[in-house]
Amino acid sequence: MPPAKSLLLICAFALTVTVSAGAADPRLIASLGKLDPQTRLEQVCDLAAVNHIGTNGKLPRPDRAKSNVITPPRHHGDTIEGSGGAFRSGGKWYAFSFKCRTSPDHLNVLSFTYRIGAMIPKSKWPEYGLWD
């Protein structure tokens, strides 16, 4: 596996683990700092999705979110918007649209809004790169 992809997977795992911890680990910040700014923006906003979507009380707290599943998000400086994200909650994947604005270093989320879409049928998971 290429080193950049390995680092990305480690960051995605670390982001998921730190959700319950509530505070960013300095090692996580250092790892995120090694990513290119656009990837860092997406990773930080994916974490925001996990944190925010779980608070609406309609679904179990998500354990994973990806901003670029169905369609790629649009990057505008420190903001990313998308209508093709997906999150996993209770073993099922759901579509979501969102807008996420971060600090200039793309390490802190300043605002995050979202709208939950339909459940994604399991038959579509391979097409979108989703998993159990």
Instruction: Please write down the HEC assignment for all residues of the chain.
Output: CCHHHHHHHHHHHHHHHHHHHCCCCHHHHHHHHCCCHHHHHHHHHHHHHHHHHCCCCCCCCCCEEECCCCCCCEEECCEEEEEEEEEEECCEEEEEEEEEEECCCCCCEEEEEEEEEEECCHHHHHHHCCCC
| Count of CB atoms situated within 10 Å of the CB of 36 | 9
pTM of the prediction? 0.79
Contact 106, 80 (CB under 8 A): no
What is the domain partition of the chain in residue ranges?
3-128
Q: Once rounded to an integer, what is the mean pLDDT over residues 121-131?
A: 97
Beta bridge partners of 81: 74, 99
∠ CA(94), CA(108), CA(81), 5° rounding? Answer: 45
Residue 8 in this model has a pLDDT that exceeds 60: no
Report the distance separating Cα 131 and Cα 129, nearest Å. 7
Parallel, antiparallel, or unpaired: how do β-strands 64-66 and 92-102 relate?
unpaired
pLDDT per residue as tens digits for the range 36-70? 999 999 999 999 999 899 887 888 999 999 999 99
| Count of CB atoms situated within 10 Å of the CB of 8 | 18
Residue 22 in this model has a pLDDT that exceeds 70: no
pLDDT per residue as tens digits for the range 37-46? 999 999 999 9
Question: Which pLDDT band, with edges at 50, 70 and 90, does 24 fall under?
Answer: low
